[in-house]
Amino acid sequence: MGKVAFVFPGQASQYPGMGKELAEKYPSARAVFDEADKALGFSISQMCFAGSEEDLKQTANTQPAILTCSVAIYRVLAERGLTPDFVAGHSLGEYSALVAAGSLKFADAVQLVRKRGTYMQDAVPAGVGAMAAIMGLSPAVVADACKRAAENEICAPANLNSHEQTVISGHAGAVKRAVEIASQLGAKRAVMLPVSAPFHSALMMPAQEKLAIELKKVSFADLRVPLVTNVDADTETSGEEARDALIRQVTMPVRWEESVRLLIDEGVNTFVEVGPGRVLTGLLRQIERSVATLNVEDEKSLVATLDKVAGARSDAA
């Protein structure tokens, strides 16, 4: 068997009820939710298990909710003997990856992402920024459409998700213009996204500056397994470098397709999406169909993933 990478989802993977089944069945998962409640001073566990979609959609809630759910699932996998050779996370997911790699303490991470969510929410007044997803155009063509649409405003690629999908971010007017240009250029789909802020764009600089102060207060240990960072699409094992990557990540694009290709070059042939939803599983299929993609978000997917990995390991033995 080749190597295994754990990949951790970011914002937009959340849904009401996430993590509940595993927390009820596994004390190690429940302990993560309890620790999050304590660190945050309110019940993020209740918001995950029984909260409304509206509450979970607020960035300051979404970020700690997804992180907590992902780390709880990771702890159950580790307890069952499934550990990764590499980790990566999409945007917010990079914090989950750093907890899994032993660099960041979970209580520190959950407090950081709560602040990150608040700072990102507050960086730009409501309605000023926007994001859109462009399907079916190459990243280079999308970048060109953004340039043409900018007209002295900010508009740029934010998530380089796959050769089929690029998310753009910036001033609302410029993003709308880019969507029109992309449609004229033959995009399969070009749609505005229901997000509350223009993430991974230069408009997020106020959030980056505030978050940098918070990140510098927290200790980052060197990583037990290598992380592929969003901003550089390169492997990292230094805690200091990982912190620096989290700071730069706020205003820089997520280089997801490059990150996945690097992992494949490093010998990864099994990807396990650890956390709510299957967004990254879908992107992995767009990027490279030859690799095995698994996900764990509830009891059924946990059992299926453990069985498949055990089977692959015994075949390789």
Rounded-to-integer distance, Cα 107 and Cα 113, Å: 10
If phi > 0 it is left, if psi is from -120 to 50 it is alpha, else beta; for residue 276 that is beta
Take residue 287 and report the two structure tokens written for it: 């990027």
Take residue 107 and report the two structure tokens written for it: 């209580």
Position 216 scores a pLDDT of 98
Domains (range + CATH), the chain: 3-123+203-316 (3.40.366.10), 129-195 (3.30.70.250)
List the chain pLDDT tens, one digit each, 317 residues: 789 999 999 998 999 999 999 999 999 999 999 999 999 999 999 999 999 999 998 889 999 999 999 999 999 999 999 999 999 999 999 999 999 999 999 999 999 999 999 999 999 998 999 999 999 999 999 999 999 999 999 999 999 999 999 999 999 999 999 999 999 999 999 999 988 789 999 999 999 999 999 999 999 999 999 999 999 999 999 999 999 999 999 999 999 999 999 999 999 999 999 999 999 999 999 999 999 999 999 999 999 999 998 877 778 76
Residues annotated as catalytic (active site), given as ranges: 91, 200
Position 76 scores a pLDDT of 98
Contacts of 279 (CB under 8 A, 6+ apart): 9, 10, 12, 13, 90, 273
What Å distances lie between residue 285 and 51, 135, 163, 292, 299, CA to CA? 31, 14, 11, 9, 23
For the residues of the chain, what is the DSSP string, one character each?
--EEEEEE--TT---TTTTHHHHHH-HHHHHHHHHHHHHHTS-HHHHHHH--HHHHHSHHHHHHHHHHHHHHHHHHHHHTT---SEEEESTTHHHHHHHHTTSS-HHHHHHHHHHHHHHHHHHS-TTTEEEEEEESS-HHHHHHHHHHHHTTS-EEEEEEEETTEEEEEEEHHHHHHHHHHHHHTT-SEEEE---SS-TTSGGGHHHHHHHHHHHHHS--PPPSS-EE-TTT-SEE--HHHHHHHHHHHTTS-B-HHHHHHHHHHTTEEEEEEESSSSHHHHHHHHH-TTSEEEEESSHHHHHHHHHHHHHHHHHH-
Position 314 scores a pLDDT of 74
Q: Kind of pairing, strands 235-236 and 189-192?
A: unpaired
Position 317 scores a pLDDT of 66
Position 313 scores a pLDDT of 73
3-state secondary structure 34-51: HHHHHHHCCCHHHHHHHC
